Amino acid sequence: MKQTLDAYLERLAALPDDEVDRLYEEAKSVIGDTCWIPNPGPQTAAYYSEADILLYGGQGGGGKTDLIAGLALTEHERSLLLRPQYTDLGALIERVVAVAGTRKGLNSAPPAQFKFDDRVIDFGAASTLDRAETWQGNPHDLIAFDEACQFHEAVVRFLMGWNRAADTQLGSNTRQRVRTVMASNPPISAAGDWVVGMFRPWLDVTHSRPAEHGELRWFIIDPDGNDLEVDGPDDIRTYDHKDYVPRSRTFIPAALADNPFLINTGYQATLDAMPEPLRSAVRDGNFMAAREDDDWQVIPTSWVLEANERWRHGKGDRALSCIGLDVARGGRDNTVFSKRYGPWFDELVVVAGADTPDGPSVAALAAGMLRQDAIVAVDSIGIGADAETALKNAGLPFEAMNGSEKATGHTRDGNFAFYNHRSEMWWRLREALDPSYGLDVALPTDPKLQADLTAPTYSVRPGQPPKIYVESKQDIMKRLGRSPDRGDAVVYAWNGGDLNAGPRARMMQNRRIGSTPAPVMEYDELRYG
């Protein structure tokens, strides 16, 4: 459709003005009562895209909000249009009403709803997963996120689970189209990194198999909750012996030059006046340009990326040193194993919390991974304590990682102490990743791991000496919308084992000789890596 329309418009531009006017009047007669049509170019391509999940964004002024409004008013029967904050909804509602050309059918009382002809448009705010759950059980054939990079990933993925046609539509001769649209400028903080990860083939120039703008790629969410690209739309049976239906994705860049309503308004000059790197993000639509670290971020993003580059060289002949273990706390959490070979970390083993319901099941998986003199560094707080007990009962070498206990160490320069052991463990990993120390830590390329490691911030609390405090896991969960379990597993792996001979020696004394081993849960190398 796009190629045909674009070719037609090129021919149209070469005609005399009077002929153009005549054809314009004919077009209006064909359009009839349609309240909105997309602008030629990217907006038209996005409108007619067959992708189940579309990212439309980039440059400011590219008509992102209008695309959402137009789709809801012309193509879909039941739509849910979202902004992160309720205070931002007003502008979105008013734009939809303006495009529709009427306020009749608008109920602005929360939750706001607009009935237009036979279409229903719901408006919602979902800054947290709790607020997103308000829409649980409500099917919408269009779910659109305005400024998607400002949403938590967990919120978006949860709501996408309700992206389907209403039951009343299922028996009709013409099935209602179902899709998710994410309209957004590029991210300017770590909170939006997940968008780049979800659309990496289109946005990351270093991707091994880059995708063209508008090209469809198919993905499933595997049983462990990870994105997995597949060859096409056919159902996929994975290692849990269940069939998964792939959904297609694509990215289409929005451009100010394609929006005739803004191109001559001076908005371009406003974008030109922005400072870098914000100018490259909003004006040029570069999704990789403007992401900036928090001033108080524990681990700089660039250090993680450098560790990713070193990882490509492989572990060599190093022996397994330690397995960092973060145990699922239930719900959507995962149990994560991080295997460390000296300074080299293997790909993470991520197991759904439902598959590790108790300590013995966790200990059995750990037992299958242990090699030689390696030990398991396990979170000993809360649910992790059950795994610790199971490891002890099975006679397996372990070290308890209690983040709440008092820290006794100091920063490498000796100027700061630590508020608690959790703060010290995270800081030790920061020091290890610092390029100036040359420890050559190597980390696997994993978007969720990168998000976890770059999420925590720190503060300095008074004392003699002052104490570094790394924010709590609970606070990080509120911002990410999920547990930073991958990052914690890596932190435990770095702080346990051969880097901590003293605690390891104490751990060895805790082994129970002749105890009854934990029930064996099969460890599948093909499944878990």
CB-side neighbour CA atoms (13 Å) of 165: 15
| pLDDT-based confidence at residue 75 (cuts at 50, 70, 90) | very high
SS3 167: helix
Mean pLDDT for 422-439 is 93
Residue 411 pLDDT more than 80? yes
pLDDT given at position 507: 39
Superfamily for domain range 33-282: P-loop containing nucleotide triphosphate hydrolases (3.40.50.300)
Residue 524 pLDDT more than 60? no
Calculated CA dihedral for residues 497, 477, 223, 157, nearest 10 degrees: -150
Say if residues 339 and 443 touch (Cβ distance below 8 Å). no
More confident of the two residues 20 and 113: 113
What residue ranges of the chain are covered by domains with CATH 3.40.50.300? 33-282
Burial class (CB in 10 A: 0-12, 13-18, 19+), 27: exposed
Say if residues 113 and 121 touch (Cβ distance below 8 Å). yes
Average pLDDT for the chain = 81
Q: In this predicted model, what pLDDT tens digit does every residue of 32-51 receive, in sequence order?
A: 566 788 888 888 999 999 99
Distances (CA, A) of 238 to 216, 235, 248, 475, 517: 22, 10, 18, 34, 31
For residue 447, the tally of other CB atoms under 10 A from its CB is 18
| Exposure class string for 38-74: b at 16+ Cβ within 10 A, else e | bbbbbbbbbbebebbbbbbbbbbbbbbbbbbbbbbbb
CA proximity to 200, closest of 265, 146, 141, 250 = 250
Burial class (CB in 10 A: 0-12, 13-18, 19+), 188: middle
Percent over 70 (pLDDT), the chain: 77
| pLDDT-based confidence at residue 529 (cuts at 50, 70, 90) | very low
| pLDDT-based confidence at residue 27 (cuts at 50, 70, 90) | low
Can you tell me the distance from the alpha carbon of 70 to that of 144, in angstroms, rounded to the nearest whole number? Answer: 11
Highest mean pLDDT among 103-117, 164-178, 261-275: 103-117
Q: In this predicted model, what pLDDT tens digit does every residue of 432-490 receive, in sequence order?
A: 999 988 789 999 988 889 889 988 999 999 989 999 999 998 888 877 767 889 999 99
- Contacts (Cβ under 8 Å, ≥6 apart) of 317: none
More confident of the two residues 192 and 274: 192
pLDDT given at position 482: 76
Mean pLDDT for 141-145 is 97
Residue 498 pLDDT more than 90? no
Q: In this predicted model, what pLDDT tens digit does every residue of 175-222 receive, in sequence order?
A: 789 999 999 888 877 678 888 889 988 887 666 688 999 999 999 987
Tokens of residue 334, six digits: 């995962």
What residue ranges of the chain are covered by domains with CATH 3.30.420.240? 301-528
pLDDT given at position 515: 31
pLDDT given at position 332: 67
- Model confidence pTM above 0.75: no
- Domain 301-528 part of CATH 3.30.420.240: yes
First to last CA, the chain: 44
Segment among 66-80, 98-112, 272-286, 306-320 with least mean pLDDT: 272-286
Mean pLDDT for 408-426 is 94
Residue 512 pLDDT more than 70? no
